[in-house]
Amino acid sequence: MHSVKKFLDFEAHLNEATVALLGAPLEYSVPKRDNPFGPGMADGPHIIKQMSHLLESYSPRLNRSLQEMKLCDMGGVTFGKDIMESLRLISEEIEAINNKKIVVIGGEHTVTVGVVEGLIKRYPEMVIIQMDAHTDLRAEYEGKKYSHACVIRRCLEIVGPEKIYQLGIRSGEKEEFELGKQQCHLSSRLILDAATLKKLQGLPVYLTIDLDILDPAYAPGVSVPESCGASPHELFEAIYSLRGLNIIGFDVVEILPSHDIGQITAAIAAKIIREAILTFWE
């Protein structure tokens, strides 16, 4: 049994909290690679929470502390027997969290589909910002419509065209890049320009961060590492640049603990969560 249950200082009851954190140990479409018996993506939320206890609550960069906030760690979703039931369960869990900012820890990226489905009724004008190495716009992958390689395609079908901003993209099929340019806002850059940030002011924004946005030198513990990625410094600056937008929630996904080295990917993930919370919310 895992001994660490909560992320850092997340001790508030849901009723009094402004931020609710939910573990999403979904592992459905991601290959185990060459270590099928090591800890997989389902162990991601636990490992990241464990590493959070090596962090301080205080961010020197932001001059703020998580201790100034009321934060609730709701534990994890118990997923169903198949992907559709699992996505339904997380969607229902997200819908039930009223008037709270949402943080979701994966698990594979497919979980984002369930989160978006759970938010769209409350936020019909929602836009999505994706920080990721990959386009994730395939119609299907290995015969599966719901897959880590198809997650943004499914989200596009939910929120509609022109509402997804893809940042840091450096890999994908030609057809995915064409679709991204036609129906999304696809860019290899990580930071939105001033005009786009102004355009997004006031709109509900959901941020999804696939850890493979980082170069494998900094984050080896991901399912599909892609070279020539961002440094942690570049990623944090991109997160800070979103301050002032109406961020309704975010997720951090795709950690593969069996391929992490010294748990450095989990440590970065925990810091991403701390910095994002302190950047976006009071």
Residue appearing with tokens 């019909």: 124
Which residues, other chains included, contact 140 with Cβ-Cβ below 8 Å and sequence gap of 6+?
147, 150
Delineate the domains of the chain, giving CATH numbers in brackets: 19-280 (3.40.800.10)
pLDDT (tens digit, 9 = 90+) per residue, 127-156?
999 999 999 999 999 888 999 999 999 999
What's the pLDDT score for residue 79? 87
What order do you get walking across the sheet with 19-24 strand by strand? 71-76, 19-24, 101-106, 246-253, 204-210, 127-131, 164-167, 185-186
pLDDT (tens digit, 9 = 90+) per residue, 152-168?
999 999 999 999 999 99
Residue 126: C-alpha distances to residues 123, 161, 189, 248, 254 (Å): 5, 12, 22, 9, 23
Residue 272: C-alpha distances to residues 80, 194, 267 (Å): 28, 23, 9
What's the pLDDT score for residue 1? 43
The structure's pTM equals: 0.95
Percent of the chain with pLDDT over 70: 95
> Band of the pLDDT at 36, cuts 50, 70, 90?
low
pLDDT (tens digit, 9 = 90+) per residue, 156-210?
999 999 999 999 999 999 999 999 999 999 999 999 999 999 999 999 999 999 9
**Contact between residue 222 and residue 256 where contact means Cβ atoms under 8 Å apart:** yes
pLDDT (tens digit, 9 = 90+) per residue, 54-107?
999 999 999 999 999 999 999 999 887 889 999 999 999 999 998 899 999 999
- Tokens representing 260 are 């992490």
What's the pLDDT score for residue 175? 97
pLDDT (tens digit, 9 = 90+) per residue, 3-12?
567 999 788 9
What is the C-alpha to C-alpha distance for residues 209 and 254, in angstroms, rounded to an integer?
9
pLDDT (tens digit, 9 = 90+) per residue, 244-278?
999 999 999 999 999 999 999 999 999 999 999 99
For the chain, the farthest-separated pair of C-alpha atoms sits apart, in whole angstroms, at: 49
